[in-house]
Structure 1
Amino acid sequence: MKWVVASYARWTGKALSDAGEEELPKVLYHAPFVLVSHGQEADPILCYGNQTALKLWEMNLSQFLETPSRYTAEPMHRDERAQLLERTTRYGFVDDYQGIRISASGARFRIHQATVWNVVDEMGVYQGQAAMFHEWTPLGQQVSVNL
């Protein structure tokens, strides 16, 4: 979590929260916005999701932490998602992303104005990517999910 928070500040010049270091994990977990991250595996696995993300994707924490991040998008939207992640890798962060995502039950939703950034450690070594967004719109269509 430390790298997610520090990397957000590094790329955007903003803080995810003004909470102190001790309170920060709890504040971010209970935040009214979505905060997620994945690692640097060849097929990146989600490694953090706050309470809002878990509710939106309709998963408990253990399910979420076993999910390849590509499964947060429907197969037909995965190329778009891959292009976003490539653009993020190239520029460090993007703050204008919109896209369609899918929950574990098949509920579809559009995310708006997401910020996606590279997570780096203290030495600047790439460790994965994270995303944060405040707004989403349910699309009212259920689809079958093959996670």
Structure 2
Amino acid sequence: MNEVTVFLADITDQVQQDDSRHLVSLLADVSGYRPNLQGSIIGFGQYHYKYESGREGDSMVIAFSPRKQNIAIYIMPGFSNFQSQLKKLGKHKVGKSCLYINKLADIDLEVLKEIASLSVKDMQNKYSCSET
């Protein structure tokens, strides 16, 4: 068993565990990257960023974290280009780069796939992305 499988098995809420397993499969398929556990975040792919300030680092191309109150899906380019999709997604909330959902049954998975796919393409066009 790999670390992602072990992490998912420790989720006590069965719906959230099932949703998380589904998200691992969905985001791996959409991104083309293998899942990688970083703390409590399951990421897919990696890119290197460098700001004008000189700050730089590495981050995931797309990721999610099953939290107690919800599931946070990290859409790294933000949501400015995905407004039409968000209107069709279903029950959700957004932060700067986070899409918060309570459970997958609350949203349209095809719309989520579209957002995830477009997000990954945006990141690949902007950065040199690779496997972690």
Q: TM-score, normalised by structure 2?
A: 0.31
Q: Which is richer in helix?
A: 2
Q: Which is richer in strand?
A: 1
